[in-house]
Structure 1
Amino acid sequence: MRRLATVVGAGAALVLALSACAEPTAGFGGQPTPPPSSAQPTPEPGPEMEPPAGGKPLAKNKADLSALPADFPKRVWTEGDGTVVGTFGKEGGCSKVRADLTEQTDTGVKITLVETTPANSEACTMDLRFPPVTVKLAKPLGERGVVVTAKQETK
């Protein structure tokens, strides 16, 4: 008799579990699941990241990061006497990022973030990293602005 009660109890639990799974509009905790949207998802903004220790954040109006993809961290800083300018790159799996100083004038500095991926196709992890990268200027940044762009290359 005891065995019958166990079997009946287990059967009832199974029926309850299956009926809960059969409800297509119930989400976690019994909350209705919103219908799928046909609109394209908007890209998430990049993570807010602070400069490394000793880095002095550049005022947002002095840095033009508008050419970077939405998921990049948007931060520029100076280090030391102002001749080192840093920002965050994005790399993952097999790719590596570097910062190239592409222009420096009396009014501004241009930095290109270059993500390099190996030409041979190998198995790569799907992780993303946002390492700090820096460039060395001929003279301190001072009041000059900074423009940061990004590109990809295969080697």
Structure 2
Amino acid sequence: MRYSAKVAGTAALLLMATACAGHDRPTGTPAGSVPASPTQPGLPTSPSANPPGKPRLTVPEGSTPVPADKIDATALPASYPREVWTGNGGTVLDIRAQEGGCGHALGEAAEQTADHVVVDLSETKAQTGQMCTMDIRYPVISVPLAAPLDGRTVVLKTTPPR
């Protein structure tokens, strides 16, 4: 009799667990699937999709891609993203950066001349003794400019973690 009660209880528990599983994934996403990457078409680009102060995974609405011939990414490692957009009338660069583990991507306009803008991309350094995951993320970071980008070239470079 006790054996039957255990089997019935276990079956009820499994039924509840499977009924509740999957309610946290977006509609239309099969169980066990990986969510779409942030650069796939159809994903939201609204700034409201990412609260202020949080890493942005999508490009802000209304941003304009910078043409590939206006991006000099020769100083970046081969695996680093090379995506740049302008926003706010060209006074903000939205750049797909790379970060991992406990680090967070940073960017600043290190030099601004009449023909180019040099953007220094780096990452915060993990605290000593802190355990970190070994993942790589590709957030979009915003870098303000003193004047609109217009026809200037964006030069991307990296520096060691800070």
TM range (shorter): 0.5 to 0.7
Q: How far apart are the structure 2 equivalents of 1:48 and 1:129?
A: 10
Q: 1:106 deviation in Å?
A: 0.8
Deviations 1:41-88 (A, max 9, x none): xxxxxx994771321001100010121112211111100200001211
Rounded to whole Å, the distance in 1 between the matches of 2:153 and 2:38 is 21
Matched with 2:117 is 109
RMSD: 2.0
Give 2:45's aligned residue. none
1:152 match: secondary structure = coil
Aligned twin of 2:63: 55
Aligned residue runs from structure 1 range 96-135, under 5 A:
96-135=104-143
Question: Out of 134, 152, 159, which is 1:151 matched to?
Answer: 159
Residue 89 of structure 1: aligned partner: 97
Instruction: Report how far residue 153 of structure 1 moved.
Output: 2.2
TM-score normalised to structure 1 length: 0.64
Percent of aligned pairs with the same residue?
A: 37
Distance 2:105 2:129 in 1: 18
Larger strand percent: 1
Listed one character per residue, the Cα deviations across residues 116-154 of structure 1 (whole Å, up to 9, x for unaligned) are 212413211111111101111111111111100112224
Structure 2 unaligned blocks of 5 or more? 1-36, 41-57
Q: Are 1:74 and 2:82 matched, yes or no?
A: yes
CA distance in 1, matches of 2:39, 2:72: 17
Moved over 6 A (4+): none
Contact 1:49-1:73 at 8 Å conserved across structures: no
Which residue type is aligned with residue 89 of structure 1? A
Q: TM-score, normalised by structure 2?
A: 0.61
For the 8 Å contact 1:91–1:115, the answer to whether it is kept is yes
Unpaired segments ≥5 residues, structure 1: 1-46
